[in-house]
Amino acid sequence: MTKSRILLAAKELFEEKGFDRTTVREVAAKAEANVALINYHFGSKENLLAAIVEEMTSETRLKLTGIHNSLLGPAEKLEQVIELYVDRLHSNSEYYQMIQRELSTRLLRPELHDSLSATLKRNKDEIKKLLEEGQQKKIFKKDIDQDLVISTIFGLMYQTTHSGFREKIIKCTEDAEAFKLRVKQYLWALLKSYIVK
C-alpha cells in the first residue's frame, strides 16, 4: 500500500538524517510516490511524523493492554512491561533516539511536540494503571512515585540504546542479547526493590 510505503520511507529517513534535514521530496522518492500524494494523505511533514509515532505507539499499546488484561499478578505484569520495552527500544533504537530529539525541540515546533507527547502519554497511562492495580492489591507500596517509576524505566532504556553510552557500559564478553538481558534484570531488580512490598 502506498500509505504504508510512505510511512516506512519517512521513518527510515527521519532516523537516518533527522526530521529537519529530511525533505518531503526525499520521502516521496524513497517511497516511489509523488509529493502530492504525501500531501493528500498527511498534509505536512509534521503530520507524517505524528502518523509514524501513532502507528508505533499503537502497536506497543496493544501489547500493554494484553499484559494488563492478563491473569498475571501485578509484579509479573510489570516485569513483562520491562521486557516488552527493553526489546522494543533495543530493536528500534534509531527510531526512539529520533523521537527523543524531536521531543527536545519543544520551542521550535510546540504543536508537534504536544501532539507527540499526547500520543506517548497514552502508553504511559497504561503503565500507571498497572502500578495502581499493584497498589490496590497491596502488592506494590502505597507511596511509590508513579511518574518517577516511569521516568526510571524510560530513562534507563533510552540511555542503554544510545550508542555512545552503550559502548561505555557494555562488557567485552557481551553480545547484544546478553546486554539486553542485563538491562532487563537490572531494571527489574531496581524497580522491585522500590515498588514491591
Rounded Cα distance between 89 and 162, Å, is 10
**How many H helices and E strands in the chain?**
10, 0
Q: CA-CA-CA-CA torsion for 59, 61, 67, 69, nearest 10 degrees? A: -120
Look at residue 68 and tell me whether its pLDDT is greater than 80: yes
Confidence (pLDDT) at 124? 93
> Hey, what's the cell of 26?
526525499
Confidence (pLDDT) at 54? 93
Quote the strand ranges of the chain, DSSP E: none
pLDDT one-digit tens code per residue, 128-143: 999 999 999 999 999 9
**Secondary structure of residue 70 in the 3-state scheme:** coil
Look at residue 196 and tell me whether its pLDDT is greater than 80: yes
Rounded Cα distance between 58 and 54, Å, is 6
Half-sphere exposure of 148 (CA within 13 A, CB side): 7
pLDDT one-digit tens code per residue, 171-190: 888 988 999 999 999 999 99
**Secondary structure of residue 140 in the 3-state scheme:** strand
Mean pLDDT for 150-156 is 91
Look at residue 145 and tell me whether its pLDDT is greater than 90: yes
Look at residue 8 and tell me whether its pLDDT is greater than 80: yes
